[in-house]
Copies of this chain bind each other. A is one copy, B any other.
């Protein structure tokens, strides 16, 4: 247990224990075919020397690295950090480590990250593609021989299985909820974004409006507090002011909420508010904000489970084809009724 320059190796342990390297190896790997006596002895020596098998050597012998890679836009983003947490838990349950890198939604950085991870011979990958269409990404994925799962945003042509929440249905349901509340002018604030998820939510909003015979009104200008203030103020002073706002992402929801507060617009009396994506204090602010909630942890968990399913059942044709069939796992969202939409939940 002393501090040493180089970590001990099998042969060092073997020598110290007066056995062959094979025996030591067996002890580390479960102790099969070793007499209880020697096993105990070797184990003692191992502990005493603070020996830990060198994973790199195992890997070189053709074994798995017991690491999986996760490439997400940002680690600090609550959505992705929750995904990461869930994925890490699954990895741990599968005796594996999670390596996290941030792409910052930059396709180039994403590719670089992927290449490094592959160089490290991760057993599998989970990616939230910066750009679902990216040629570079698609090229890379096609050339890969290890399992990859996409999260949050599917890769074009379903090159890899994806786990996403049902943005379309969630947004449609949310819009319908606002319609049922009786709001006449429901405006959708998309927030600046070219992301797949936002597009799906826009589609959902449109679908609900259309099937209700309403005109869809989308505003894509909101990208910060100022633009939100401008947009909302313009609408309010315009000819046909909205009586409900459907915001498609967290930041937009928060900006809208702040602006409405600042302008002393009563929520939901004058304008109702419904946001897509839940956040920690949505229930704490007054009025509390109703949202469409995504199964965040579940996305991470399911993605990781799918990955390990492929990893472990790589030979089993049945398993593989089962996964193959499920190219796109769509997880349901939930409407969390709080006050800002006009609901009055009991708690």
Contact = CB atoms under 8 A, between A and B. Distances in A.
A59 to B, nearest CB: 4
Contacts of A100: 84, 88, 98-100
Contact of A99 (B2, B59, B89, B99): B99
Interface string A54-81: 1111011000011100000011101001
Contact of A281 (B57, B121, B254): B254
B60 A145 contact: no
A188 B82 CA distance: 31
Interface string A1-36: 111111100000000000000000000000000000
B81 A145 contact: no
A143 interface: yes
Interface size class of A (residues with CB under 8 A): 35 or more
A102 interface: yes
Contact of A97 (B56, B75, B99, B145): B99
Interface in A81-96: 81-82, 84-85, 88-89, 92
30 contacts: A1-B139, A2-B143, A3-B142, A7-B121, A52-B118, A55-B56, A56-B57, A56-B60, A56-B65, A74-B85, A75-B75, A75-B81, A75-B85, A75-B88, A76-B84, A78-B78, A78-B81, A81-B81, A84-B100, A88-B100, A88-B102, A89-B102, A92-B101, A92-B102, A98-B100, A99-B99, A100-B100, A258-B284, A280-B280, A281-B285
Given A6-B145, A54-B59, 7 more contacts: A1-B139, A7-B121, A75-B84, A76-B82, A76-B85, A81-B84, A285-B286
Interface of A: 1-7, 50, 52-57, 59-60, 65-67, 74-76, 78, 81-82, 84-85, 88-89, 92, 97-102, 115-121, 139, 142-145, 254, 257-258, 261, 279-281, 284-286
